[in-house]
Amino acid sequence: MGFFEKLKQGLKKTKNGLIGGINSLLSGSEINDDFYDELEETLILSDIGAKTSEDIVSGLRQRVKEQKLSTPDEVRAALKEMIREMLGEDTPLDLSTVPSVILVIGVNGVGKTTAIGKLSNQLKQEGKRVLVAAADTFRAAAIEQLNVWTDRAGVEIIKHNEGSDPASVVYDALDAAKSRSADVVIIDTAGRLHNKSNLMNELAKISRIVHQKAEGCALEVLIALDATTGQNAVNQARAFNDAADITGIILTKLDSSAKGGIVISIANELKVPVKLVSVGEKIDDLQPFSAQDFVDALFENDDREE
């Protein structure tokens, strides 16, 4: 199964709820106030969120009026175009320096470690030498799990004992990156600290070390978010964004969840690009996010060719 087909499968429940509801509305309603009210409700039930749903409906009202849209196909096409625009331009990872550094953050249980393993594999397949820093030292299980994934991906890992200073792991990893001519250093971080102040201080400390040891390097700060948690994912991203300057999102577990609409909400409310999306359990199931593929998978008929 190709990646587009996996994405369609992952969005199946969202599509059934969202597009099914929209088609039902368009087939039985005039384009009036009742239609817009029901559309907003349909969007919210598809986990797009109240604010984003309101923005979509407001924008659609304006387009219908300005462009004098009247047929169901015209309104549906306008809605698809609006969502595509809301998702913004595709933004690839910035790996423009050697080494480039990717700092991965996120709460425990969202698939952060798995995403790092998949990303390591993807970059290695592109011919890059990857080194992973196991800086989530608060849980021994985190280090062990990351070690399993780096073994699977065939990349190197720098690790210390449980309870070690995370910043010291990063320091050693950046030293190793220089001596081993690594192209990319991926840093795993603790998924849960005692409070936001602790999180901010730890991330700031790691960031300082990155800039000291790899001055001028391209730095990505990616937050891993679990698509199945819906609006909680937006809240998590907002909280972490207060502690770190997030440059992108890794959306995990987009595999037949009814929460796929969260992608639209994230893009609209946080203005942070989704850069990677995971649509399965296999090591090659993490891919760069494509807004066009997303809306095509959501809106297109099931007989679309790859």
Q: In the 3-class helix/strand/coil scheme, how is 43-91 assigned residue by residue? A: HHHCCCCHHHHHHHHHHHHHHHHHHCCCCHHHHHHHHHHHHHHHHCCCC
Instruction: Tell me how crowded residue 156 is: count the other CB atoms within 10 A of its CB.
Output: 18
Domain(s) of CATH 3.40.50.300: residues in the chain: 100-289
Instruction: Count the alpha carbons within 13 Å of 213 in the hemisphere toward its beta carbon.
Output: 23
Report CA-CA distances (Å) from 250 to 5, 26, 269, 278, 289.
Answer: 19, 34, 16, 8, 9
Q: What is the pLDDT of residue 2?
A: 66
SS3 238: helix
Q: Which parts of the chain sit beneath pLDDT 50?
A: 302-306
Angle made by CA atoms 196, 202, 205, in degrees to the nearest 5: 140
Instruction: Count the alpha carbons within 13 Å of 78 in the hemisphere toward its beta carbon.
Output: 21
Q: What is the pLDDT of residue 107?
A: 86
Residue whose pair of structure tokens reads 């004992």 in the numeric block: 161
Give one DSSP letter per residue of 31-47, joined into a string. SSHHHHHHHHHHHHHTT
Exposure of 202 by Cβ count < 10 A (0-12 exposed, 13-18 middle, 19+ buried)?
buried
| Rounded distance between C-alpha atoms, residue 164 and residue 185, angstroms | 19
24's CB contacts (< 8 A; 6+ apart) are none
| Rounded distance between C-alpha atoms, residue 297 and residue 304, angstroms | 9
Pick the closest to residue 133 from 194, 94, 184 (CA basis).
184
Domain(s) of CATH 1.20.120.140: residues in the chain: 3-87
Q: What is the pLDDT of residue 182?
A: 96
| Helix, strand counts (H, E) of the chain | 12, 8
| Rounded distance between C-alpha atoms, residue 216 and residue 114, angstroms | 28
CATH topology of domain 100-289: Rossmann fold (3.40.50)
Give one DSSP letter per residue of 162-177, joined into a string. TT--HHHHHHHHHHHH
303's CB contacts (< 8 A; 6+ apart) are none
Q: What is the pLDDT of residue 65?
A: 93
Buried (b) or exposed (e) across 224-249, using 16+ Cβ within 10 A? bbbbbbbbebbebbeebbebbebbbb
Options 3.30.450.40, 3.40.50.1220, 1.20.120.140, 3.40.50.720; CATH for 3-87 is 1.20.120.140
Token representation of residue 306: 């790859």
Helix (H) or strand (E) holding 152: helix 140-153
Strands, E assignment, the chain: 100-105, 130-134, 156-158, 184-188, 219-226, 248-252, 274-278, 286-288
